[in-house]
């Protein structure tokens, strides 16, 4: 056992069946087979410093236009919609924060090479929502495109629409080379984050997905209706207060799926669900924490393998996961499909479950955190809270819009004039895509990394 925050403890497993811990484990007898070896690690990072996973090389809006988002209003010049629906490579730079509530049907990101730089926004940051009614749909959809990077954006589905099955918080559909990093989603009536169709090279990292609305309170449906193999990374996230699909894994053979260093809290019936209805999911589950909460039943399962409608056999690599609470930690059906090596090399060097848990609670989600994410994280620490029955309210701070002025940017190149001067860059010359220090990273990308570091330091 290893100690974690607030004097609580988790039990880690590094061999099949070794699931004893702080609560009673209802799993069957230990599985007699060799334990998995240490993970193999590969790296590929280019989207921004610290990008991880299969989507790490996404270009985003590199070398494209700098588009200022100057208003929280929709369907007008300077709106977020204008940037999302624009053609060509582009970076959305926020000159205001607050609630960006889409009027009518929310926009869909179709055109490739886009960066949504929520880290550029003045406090309190960026919150997306729809307006309810017949046109209410998922507020952030990436569909039929490629090379999209989204950071420090939160989606709060605070108003119910008329199309439950089209009301995720985030959807990635038929897209390639996409990163969702440091995002937050809550109160979706379908999945909080949903992968649909034929995606590939997807990273979902360092994010908070909490409080889906019953009866479809789901954290993450990572794939649905795929026809070909996919590569997806789900790394460093928090799923809290969702009945099941924490996450749901259902991929074709030859896919590469990794579930690494996440914290899953207060599932009601199921945490990680592995399906084989598309031929058999290959998946690595490494260094995660599965934690019971007030809604977690004794018959809930931490890692389960569904045999219903199976058309092939899954491959489940399970290593160094931690379990806390009285539930079935690993379902007995997992033994038959457990493998001793990752189906694909891991893209990151995993942390221990304890270190990952601390990191997730310290800095996951869109930053600066709003009161919703602060409450969720506190409930995880205290083993409190519950699955909600209706959407909550967006914190009052956002209703007034930005509480801080935007940084000065006289040449409209997306960078703070003071930062440019401090780094030997001409604040009067729009030089976002030049490389002043010749380190191989463009000026704007270095500035956005600086903004991200500021937010991370403030969170800690």
Detail the DSSP E strand segments found in 267-379: 270-274, 282-286, 289-291, 301-305, 315-319, 321-324, 328-330
Specify the pTM: 0.92
Question: Among residues 399, 429, 446, which one ends one of the domains?
Answer: 399
pLDDT at 7: 29
| Residue 318 falls inside a structural domain | yes
Integer Cα distance of 274 and 304 in angstroms: 6
Q: Calculate the CA 112 to chain-centre distance.
A: 20
**How are beta strands 2-3 and 321-324 bridged, if at all?**
unpaired
| Residue 62 falls inside a structural domain | yes
Read off the CATH number of the domain in which 369 is found.
2.160.20.10
Of the pLDDT bands very low, low, confident and very high (cuts 50, 70, 90), residue 19 is very low
pLDDT in tens, 134-177: 888 899 999 999 999 999 999 999 998 777 667 899 999 999 99
332 and 422 part of one domain: no
| Residue 412 falls inside a structural domain | no
Lowest mean pLDDT among 127-141, 160-174, 296-310, 315-329: 160-174
Domain count, the chain: 2
Residue written as token pair 């997807």: 202
**Token duo for residue 447:** 């500035």
Which has more confidence, 163 or 237?
Answer: 237
| Residue 150 falls inside a structural domain | yes
Residue 239 has pLDDT above 60, yes or no: yes
356 and 439 part of one domain: no
Which has more confidence, 216 or 279?
Answer: 279
Mean pLDDT of the chain: 90
437 and 310 part of one domain: no
Question: Could you tell me the residue range of the domain that residue 429 belongs to?
Answer: 417-459
319 and 431 part of one domain: no
176 and 272 part of one domain: yes
pLDDT in tens, 36-66: 667 777 776 689 999 999 999 999 999 999 9
pLDDT at 396: 77
pLDDT at 10: 46
pLDDT at 401: 55
Mean pLDDT confidence for 343-371: 96
| Residue 454 falls inside a structural domain | yes
Using CB atoms within 10 Å of the CB of residue 15, give its burial: 0 to 12 exposed, 13 to 18 middle, 19+ buried.
middle
| Residue 409 falls inside a structural domain | no
335 and 424 part of one domain: no
Task: State the CB neighbour count (10 A cutoff) for residue 11.
Answer: 20
Percent of the chain with pLDDT over 70: 89
299 and 426 part of one domain: no
354 and 440 part of one domain: no
Of the pLDDT bands very low, low, confident and very high (cuts 50, 70, 90), residue 30 is very low
452 and 312 part of one domain: no
300 and 382 part of one domain: yes
Residue 381 has pLDDT above 90, yes or no: yes
pLDDT at 399: 67
Mean pLDDT confidence for 245-264: 96
Work out whether the CA dihedral 260, 177, 116, 456 comes out positive or negative.
positive
| Residue 312 falls inside a structural domain | yes
291 and 203 part of one domain: yes
| Residue 174 falls inside a structural domain | yes
What element of type H or E holds 150? strand 146-151
Of the pLDDT bands very low, low, confident and very high (cuts 50, 70, 90), residue 32 is very low
């Amino acid at each position: 056992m290893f100690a974690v925050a607030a004097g609580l403890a988790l039990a880690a497993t590094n061999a099949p069946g070794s699931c004893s811990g702080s609560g009673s484990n209802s799993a069957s007898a230990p599985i007699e087979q060799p334990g998995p070896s240490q993970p193999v690690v590969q790296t590929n990072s280019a989207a921004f410093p610290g990008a991880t996973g299969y989507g790490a090389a996404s270009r985003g809006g590199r070398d494209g236009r700098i588009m200022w988002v100057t208003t929280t209003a929709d369907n007008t010049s300077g709106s977020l919609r204008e940037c999302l629906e624009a053609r060509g490579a582009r970076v959305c730079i926020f000159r205001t924060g607050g609630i960006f509530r889409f009027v009518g049907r929310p926009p869909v990101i179709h055109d490739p090479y886009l960066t949504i730089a929520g880290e550029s926004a003045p406090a309190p940051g960026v919150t997306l929502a729809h307006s309810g009614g017949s046109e209410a749909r998922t507020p952030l959809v990436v569909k039929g495109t490629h090379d999209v990077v989204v950071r420090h954006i939160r989606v709060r589905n605070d108003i119910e629409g008329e199309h439950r099955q089209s009301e995720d918080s985030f959807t990635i559909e038929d897209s390639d080379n996409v990163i969702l990093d440091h995002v937050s989603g809550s109160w979706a009536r379908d999945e909080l984050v949903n992968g649909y169709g034929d995606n590939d090279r997807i990273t979902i990292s360092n994010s908070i997905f909490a409080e889906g609305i019953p009866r479809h309170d789901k954290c993450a449906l990572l794939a649905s209706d795929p026809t070909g193999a996919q590569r997806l990374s789900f790394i460093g996230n928090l799923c809290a207060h969702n009945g099941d699909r924490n996450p749901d894994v259902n991929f074709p053979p030859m896919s590469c799926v990794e579930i690494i260093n996440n914290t899953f809290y207060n599932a009601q019936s199921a945490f990680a669900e592995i399906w084989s209805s598309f031929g058999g999911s290959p998946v690595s589950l490494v260094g995660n924490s599965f934690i019971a909460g007030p809604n977690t039943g004794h018959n809930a399962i931490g890692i389960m393998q569904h045999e219903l409608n199976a058309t092939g056999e899954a491959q489940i690599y399970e290593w160094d996961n931690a379990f806390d609470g009285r539930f079935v930690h690993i379902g007995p059906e997992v033994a038959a499909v457990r493998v001793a090596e990752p189906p694909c090399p891991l893209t990151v060097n995993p942390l221990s479950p304890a270190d990952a848990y601390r990191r997730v609670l310290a800095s996951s989600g869109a930053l600066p955190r709003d009161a919703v994410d602060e409450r969720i994280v506190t409930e995880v620490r205290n083993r409190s809270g519950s699955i909600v029955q209706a959407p909550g309210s967006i914190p009052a701070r956002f209703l007034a819009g930005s509480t801080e002025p935007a940084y000065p940017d006289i040449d409209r190149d997306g960078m703070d004039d003071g930062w440019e001067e401090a780094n030997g860059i001409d604040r009067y010359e729009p030089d976002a895509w030049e490389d002043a220090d010749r380190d191989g990273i463009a000026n704007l990308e270095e500035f956005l990394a600086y903004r991200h570091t500021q937010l991370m330091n403030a969170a800690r």
